[in-house]
Structure 1
């Protein structure tokens, strides 16, 4: 039971701070010889000499190479063999200002990205175009950037407030939502996770039926923050045809 609760705590930390995991390297010796300390940058965490590095990020293979070949000293990716070790490491990460903390996250939100609500975003009013070009425009900025995913009303409110306060409310803005693969099934591109369909996020049309977006329209397979409806979500053509100026909001993941 304790193991499952600790795992949930790890996931909660990551979800709350929106920080990608770094790497935890361990020295092969479990307990330093009496009177000796772990060699820098390693430190004693529980019964292991560990180095928790929030700056290096990459694939499993890259991080395994980083521990073994860059740090040396018989280092490797950490092995957690019981719930006690996991709990100790979880506590260290939770309380360490160098890892997963909101302060560290804010420091890493570097220009042109800014912290808007709980996301690291770049609202670009100058580079405008179709959904595909603007998705690429975000991606080439590196740092795992993509078109923004707005998952709740509070984050939408933060983004809209920023747009208005900065005087950028002269354009529509692409978000990462699309139903190109399956009509009516809206997902965030490129991950494929579900887009919330709450009426407090999507535009209501001023027609006789007070239609609520998105419409079941095979020609409207991408979504924008719609200027005319105070920046609620609206489905449009992915080419942006007939929608005026549509610029990107990029999110650093």
Structure 2
């Protein structure tokens, strides 16, 4: 019986959520608006966003952003841990995890102040940024590129953690657009 109660406390359906109020000793059912489940090709649904991962065309950051704009989208903003997990799972599941990918942030306006293309600040530290190791054995947390590395990638050599790179390097691209 206890397992049934626990199940019902967290049970979710595509159209609603069951809940229990201990103070009122009542059950409730709240409806939710279903999210669209389709994106225009070449985009795929990933955590309520339409995402396009382009592993074959390598370009500098600005050209990658232009590609996204041509697809009525923007370089992906990875500002949520669950979305980040789902994105990495998708890249690995598709077998395209051997590439580094430009994503939508830079610190070109103010060195050290990382900003997403939507204007929001990039979260620093774990779980997003890569850890580096000095030749003499100490560790540091990225970004560490100083003024020469101002654009953000998911770096393949670092298990797709964030790293700052020179914006003129050529990497693959990830675009996103939100459901309309």
**Shorter-chain TM-score range:** 0.7 to 0.9
Moved over 2 A (4+): 206-209
| Structure whose alpha-carbon radius of gyration is higher | 1
> Normalising by structure 1, what TM-score?
0.55
Q: By percentage of residues, which structure has more strand?
A: 2
SS in 1 for 2:140: coil
Q: By percentage of residues, which structure has more helix?
A: 1
- 1:119 maps to 49
- Larger RCO: Structure 1 or Structure 2 (Cα < 8 Å, ≥ 6 residues apart)? 2
Pick the aligned partner of 1:227 from 156, 174, 178: 156
Is residue 172 of structure 1 aligned with residue 97 of structure 2?
no
* Runs (5+) with no aligned partner, structure 1: 1-93
- 1:251 maps to 176
- Residues 192, 111 of structure 1: CA spacing in aligned structure 2 closer, same or farther, 3 A cutoff? same
- 2:128 maps to 201
SS in 2 for 1:211: strand
Considering only aligned residues, what root-mean-square deviation do their CA atoms show, in Å? 1.8
* Runs (5+) with no aligned partner, structure 2: 1-29
SS in 1 for 2:103: strand
1:102 CA displacement: 3.7
- 2:5 maps to none
Aligned 8 A contact 2:75 2:103 in 1: yes
Equivalenced residue count is 147
Pick the aligned partner of 2:88 from 160, 170, 173: 160
